[in-house]
Amino acid sequence: MAHVVASPEINVENGVTVIALGSAYENIDDFLLQALRDILLEVSLNAEPSRIVLDLSHTRFFGSSFIEVLFRLWNRANARTGGQFAISGLTPYCAEVLKITHLDTLWQIFPDRAAAIQALAEIPAK
């Protein structure tokens, strides 16, 4: 039986590209990550504007492979003119993972999507 992976919801809100991972991404295992990696990296290259918020409010678990994808997403977004990257809606476990790895000091992290969009929308273009 073939697995069908739900695509993330991608919208532009107030000049910010928002990638929302729905309930299908509660546990980002290797199978889900395979398809998700390509989508996220494509968005990081083509998003207009290149201000990106990744909404992880439905994600309860991710591992080191997903962190590597996040790092690449952040790198690609920042390499573009005016590029910004933020994460919103971290659940306690996911927030703890980023804190332990000190990535919470590298990436902009917001409690919810609205706060992240507001912060990125207010940053002057480079």
The fraction of the chain above a pLDDT of 90, given in percent, is 75
Superfamily of domain 9-122: STAS domain (3.30.750.24)
Find the mean pLDDT for residues 89-112: 95
As a whole number of angstroms, the distance between CA 55 and CA 118 comes to 14
As a whole number of angstroms, the distance between CA 44 and CA 103 comes to 19
- pTM comes to 0.92
Amino acid at 72: R
pLDDT (0 to 100) of residue 1: 40
Residue in the block written with tokens 């997403």: 73
Q: What angle do CA 33, 113, 20 make, to 5 degrees?
A: 30
- Assess contact for 89 and 124: CB atoms under 8 A: no
Find the mean pLDDT for residues 3-24: 89
pLDDT in tens, 40-90: 999 998 898 889 999 999 999 999 999 999 999 999 999 998 899 999 999
Count CB neighbours of 64 within 10 A: 8
Find the mean pLDDT for residues 92-112: 95
For 126, residues 6+ apart whose C-beta sits below 8 A from its C-beta are 81, 82, 83
pLDDT bucket at 123, cuts 50 / 70 / 90: confident
Q: Where are the domains of the chain?
A: 9-122
